[in-house]
């Protein structure tokens, strides 16, 4: 039987409730946290008390030991895959966008980042046999780019795709919109706080028919880029971005969710040969994102996606189409 927060020595019903509200919903989540993280999330708990709670949680959860590779392999078999709508793009991602990981899509304006985010928000609600995750979606919108009309168009596209083979499939656009929870982030601090709000929302929907299985941040770096200007602010920006990314990773682990972030590009004027563009975020984002995909425009409505970083997959390239009814081959 799984341990409850109240089973941790020094945690009573009141503290347990405050910890849950802050996103620490399991003994394991507390066991792997740092005292400063808990003290910052729950003001009533100081760092000294937090350290004692973490120590007790680690003893209760027994997470200090190693495990063999075959056990890790068995656990990895349960990782979910979310289809993008393009079989070619799914193929270079090893079958789709992975749960328990951060997938970053970066590219110039018009390269298809937001279109992919909208399509994944639709596809996440599909049955698992169709490449979905049968779950709800959270979108943190930093650039006011979410459009419910686009979701409606994409659901109409699913009707055309699955009309014959899956006639019993529920494809009501309003129903899909009801399972997409959108929040507009007005600055970087608000953006970070919205991850905590998403954690509470996911916890409230955990036992429902549509638990949260996808969290999208579109875009990840827009506010950080606007608020932290000049080299003098770079260290502060990167530290804050690093904390934000690790909060997203914790969400992915706790809720077996897909994390998708879109990212802007910056130009390097000193580069005369090759591609002068590189993604914003520096090494912090490069090391934290599990998968990184570079999107480029092509002819007509075609886009080129290149997988440039993955812990287990080779670099690869795929072409997909952005049409009226969404992403396709």
Is residue 114 annotated as involved in ligand binding? yes
pLDDT of 324 reads: 94
pLDDT of 215 reads: 98
Q: Report the alpha-carbon distance of residue 297 to residue 285 in Å, rounded.
A: 23
According to CATH, the topology of domain 75-328 is Rossmann fold (3.40.50)
pLDDT of 272 reads: 66
- DSSP-assigned states of every residue in 193-260: HHHHHHHHHHHHTTTSSS-EEEEEEETSSHHHHHHS-SGGGHHHHHHHHHHHHHHHHHHHHHHT-EEE
Q: Report the alpha-carbon distance of residue 148 to residue 92 in Å, rounded.
A: 29
- The counts of H helices and E strands in the chain are 13, 13
Is residue 324 annotated as involved in ligand binding? no
Is residue 107 annotated as involved in ligand binding? yes
Q: Report the alpha-carbon distance of residue 282 to residue 166 in Å, rounded.
A: 44
Is residue 113 annotated as involved in ligand binding? yes
Encode the chain (329 residues) as per-residue pLDDT tens digits. Answer: 567 899 998 898 999 988 988 878 888 889 888 898 899 888 889 999 999 999 999 888 876 667 899 988 988 888 999 999 999 999 999 999 999 999 999 999 999 999 999 999 999 999 999 999 999 999 999 999 999 999 999 999 998 888 777 767 888 999 999 999 999 999 999 999 999 999 999 999 999 999 999 999 999 999 999 999 888 898 999 999 999 999 999 899 989 999 999 999 887 767 667 677 889 888 999 999 999 999 999 998 999 999 999 999 999 999 999 999 999 99
Q: Report the alpha-carbon distance of residue 102 to residue 309 in Å, rounded.
A: 12
> Where do you find CATH 3.40.50.300 in the chain?
75-328
Instruction: Write out the H or E segment, with its range, that includes residue 134.
Output: none
pLDDT of 240 reads: 93
According to CATH, the topology of domain 5-61 is DNA polymerase; domain 1 (1.10.150)
Token pair listed for 223: 């506010």
Strand, helix or coil for residue 72? helix
Q: Report the alpha-carbon distance of residue 71 to residue 187 in Å, rounded.
A: 42
> Where do you find CATH 1.10.150.20 in the chain?
5-61
Smallest CA-to-CA distance from 123 within 166, 82, 169, 156 is with 82
Q: Are 188 and 224 in contact (CB under 8 A)?
A: yes
- Measured at the CA of 155, the angle between CA 88 and CA 100, to 5 degrees, comes to 55
pLDDT of 251 reads: 93
Burial level of 208, CB count in 10 A (0-12/13-18/19+)? exposed
**Residue that the structure tokens 């490449």 belong to:** 131
Instruction: Write out the H or E segment, with its range, that includes residue 53.
Output: helix 47-61
């Amino acid at each position: 039987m799984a341990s409850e927060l109240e089973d941790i020595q020094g945690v009573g019903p009141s503290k347990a409730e405050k910890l849950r509200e802050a996103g620490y919903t399991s003994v394991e989540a507390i066991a792997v946290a740092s005292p400063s993280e808990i003290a910052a999330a729950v003001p009533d708990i100081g760092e000294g008390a937090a350290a004692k709670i973490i120590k007790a949680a680690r003893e209760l959860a027994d997470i200090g030991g190693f495990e063999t590779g075959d056990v890790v392999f068995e656990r990895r078999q349960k990782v979910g895959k979310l289809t993008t709508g393009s079989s070619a793009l799914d193929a270079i991602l090893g079958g789709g966008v992975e749960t328990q990981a951060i997938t970053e899509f970066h590219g110039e304006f018009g390269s298809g980042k937001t279109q992919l985010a909208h399509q994944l928000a639709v596809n996440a609600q599909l049955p698992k046999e169709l490449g979905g995750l049968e779950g709800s979606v959270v979108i943190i919108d930093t650039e006011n780019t979410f459009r419910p009309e686009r979701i409606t168009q994409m659901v109409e596209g699913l009707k055309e795709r699955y009309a014959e083979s899956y006639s019993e499939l529920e494809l009501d656009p309003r129903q899909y919109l009801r399972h997409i929870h959108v929040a507009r982030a007005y600055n970087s601090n608000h953006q970070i706080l919205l991850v905590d709000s998403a954690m509470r929302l996911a916890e409230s929907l955990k036992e429902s028919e549509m638990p949260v299985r996808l969290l999208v941040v579109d875009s990840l770096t827009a506010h950080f880029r606007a608020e932290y200007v000049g080299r003098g602010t770079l260290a502060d920006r990167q530290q804050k971005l690093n904390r934000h990314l690790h909060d997203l990773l914790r969400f992915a682990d706790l809720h077996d969710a897909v994390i998708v972030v879109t990212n802007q590009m910056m130009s390097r004027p000193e580069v005369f040969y090759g591609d002068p563009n590189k993604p914003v975020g520096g090494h912090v984002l490069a090391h934290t994102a599990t998968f990184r995909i570079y999107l480029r425009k092509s002819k007509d409505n075609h886009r080129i996606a290149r997988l440039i970083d993955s812990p287990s997959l080779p670099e690869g390239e795929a072409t997909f189409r952005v049409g009226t009814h969404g992403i396709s081959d």
